[in-house]
Amino acid sequence: MSQILHYFKEVCSIPHPSFHEEKLADYVVSFAKEHSLWYSRDEHHNVLIKKPGQNRGIHCDPILLQGHLDMVAEKISGSDFDFHKDALKLIEKDGWISAKDTTLGSDDGFAIAYMLGLLNDNTIDHPPLECLFTTKEEVGLIGAIHFDMKDIESKRCIGLDSSGENRTIITSSGGVRGKFSLKRRKKVFYPASIIIKITNATGGHSGNDITKNRVNVLKLLAQFAKDLKVDIGLSSWVGGNSENAIPTWGTLILGLYEKSDELMHRAKDLALKIQDYSRHSDPAMKIDIEFGREVAGCPKEETHEIIESVLFFPQGVAKMSDEIEGLPLLSANIGFIRHDEYWTIGFSVRSPMDVLMEHHMVKIETLAKRMRMDVEFFSRYPGFPYQPESTLRNQFETFYQSFRNQNLNFEATHGGCELGIWKGKIPQLDIISMGPINEGIHTPQERMDLASFERVYENLVGFLAYLCHEAN
């Protein structure tokens, strides 16, 4: 097992969902202490480690390497896995690594492994390294937004939060998160109920996968409730886990005044039609329907407010780029719904253009007002604007063509990343990105190509040596 794979598995053994990265930050700090490296840690648990240049890189200009400590915590319906306590159960099969029933966290565990590998290796040529491990990236880039750049000396940066192996990001989307909330009002008791449970939808990343027409389970359940065409009262509705993931599961319990064979027949017929038109995007999706006993639920008016807030939410792509084929310029995603004292619906909006995002936010505020729901926006972050001139990008392209004997691809992504934040804080910063082949990011089907994981690390080591050579 290679050293970097060892580090990746170490990362996977330490619980690190968003907002709970302290243990992994402890591990990274312990590593710095063990290797006698300068480090700092702030109140958000962002960790910066510095290492002097080595061999031909001693007198080179420094370079910033950056990735994030947190992971998206998604699991299959019915799993008892606890992201706050349990180590990921890794599976290696056919050259891929994944986790049993959960996300893998290769987004962004590979970056942590790469940086620890470089910090541990005293045999390679590299410039002075500034390795930055940020937190709460998956919930709005919060750690990066609050990070104080006073200790950063670099004017060039390699972002380690992308995938694809033979490509580098040239622009990415900005975004904002939000939530609808409605205080639960008086209860009505219903003599019967119907339970609709959807599991095993494909889901995906709300940026990179938003153009793939995958089912959003929560939107589907809202439409299902509307299409039943009977008096209902919302008793329970849960599903999804994160604003920036297309939900893979959801359970809706509706109170009924009476149950009938005709209603069950209509519900099952709806399920068959849904599975038929979703067979390409969500072939494994399962819909279970059954009658239940009496329940307490919302009155009719409140029921419609909640269901229609989801039903009329502007889910999916709202505008595509006229200049870059296949690139969305504006999208939105409902990621979760839950309830306690309040009904809460979490969502995200993405766009590289502030004016488009502002317009969509106004539409969402208008919808909330009509449904008598409160709405809140938070964790807004900027996009990474395209830079026509980039010395570092030109150097990486030249290196890659020589090293791998193939062309480097340039990617404009609808995903969000921290590169725009770094560019905003240090306008002269020259930035590229790299990462291995990952699939199913933000879903329990997430997996990483092990051979690609090794090759991209070779690219990183080789490129750092190339920069030393160029400087000399």
Residues with Cβ within 8 Å of residue 320, at least 6 apart in sequence: 326, 327, 328, 329
103 and 210, same structural domain? Answer: no
Which of 334, 360, 381 terminates a domain? The answer is 381
pLDDT at 275: 94
pTM: 0.79
Computed over every residue of the chain, the mean pLDDT equals: 95
Type of residue numbered 168: T
Per-residue confidence (pLDDT) for residue 187, from 0 to 100: 87
Whether 206 and 160 share a structural domain: no
Q: For 250-263, how does the pLDDT look when each residue is reduced to its tens digit (9 = 90+)? A: 999 999 999 999 99
Mean pLDDT of 25-48: 98
How deeply is 405 buried, as exposed, middle or buried, from its count of CB atoms within 10 A (0-12, 13-18, 19+)? exposed
Whether pLDDT at 388 is above 70: yes
Q: Can you tell me the distance from the alpha carbon of 303 to that of 270, in angstroms, rounded to the nearest whole number?
A: 20
pLDDT score recorded for residue 387: 87
Q: Which domain holds residue 405?
A: 3-172+383-471
Q: Which domain CATH number covers 395?
A: 3.40.630.10
Based on the fold, state whether residues 150 and 255 are members of the same structural domain. no
Q: Is the pLDDT of residue 155 over 80?
A: yes
What whole-number distance in Å separates Cα of residue 147 and Cα of residue 45?
10
User: Which token pair is 87?
Assistant: 């180590």
> What is the tens place of the pLDDT at every residue in 2-35?
999 999 999 999 999 999 999 999 999 999 999 9
pLDDT per residue as tens digits for the range 409-449: 999 999 888 999 999 999 999 999 999 999 999 889 999 99
Q: Assess whether 360 and 407 both reside in one domain.
A: no
Residues 459 and 337 in one domain: no
Question: b/e per residue, 368-403, with b = 16+ CB within 10 A?
Answer: beebebebebebbbbbbeeeeebebbebbbebbeee
**pLDDT by residue (tens digit) across 327-345?**
999 999 999 999 999 999 9
Domain shared by 337 and 398, yes or no:
no
The predicted-structure confidence for 48-61, as pLDDT tens digits, reads as follows 999 999 999 999 99
pLDDT in tens, 301-312: 999 999 999 999
Q: Which domain CATH number covers 305? A: 3.30.70.360
Where do we find the tokens 């039609």? Answer: 273
Which of 349, 381, 413 lies at the terminal end of a domain, its last residue? 381
Q: Are residues 229 and 151 in the same domain?
A: no
CA-based R_g, the chain, Å: 24
Average pLDDT of span 210-223 = 96
Question: What pLDDT is recorded for position 184?
Answer: 87
CA 106/CA 161 separation, integer angstroms: 9
Out of 346, 364, 381, pick the residue that ends a domain: 381
Is residue 72 domain-shared with residue 149, that is, in the same domain?
A: yes
Residues 407 and 463 reside in one and the same domain: yes
Q: Are residues 210 and 309 in the same domain?
A: yes
Percentage with pLDDT > 70 across the chain: 100
Cα 163 from Cα 173, distance rounded (Å): 16
Q: Find tokens 């080591």 and name the residue.
A: 461
Give the total number of structural domains in the chain: 2
pLDDT at 163: 87
Question: pLDDT tens digits, residue range 78-98?
Answer: 899 999 999 999 999 999 999
143 and 185 fall within a common domain: no
Rounded to 10 degrees, the C-alpha dihedral 240/297/181/226 comes to: 70
Pairing of strands 250-256, 192-199: antiparallel
- Assess whether 13 and 144 both reside in one domain: yes
Per-residue confidence band for 1, with pLDDT thresholds at 50, 70 and 90: low
Q: Collapse the DSSP code of 267 into the 3-class scheme (helix H, G, I; strand E, B; otherwise coil) and give the result.
A: helix
For the stretch 277-319, pLDDT in tens is 999 999 999 999 999 999 999 999 999 999 999 999 999 999 9
Evaluate whether 446 touches 103 at the Cβ level (below 8 Å): yes
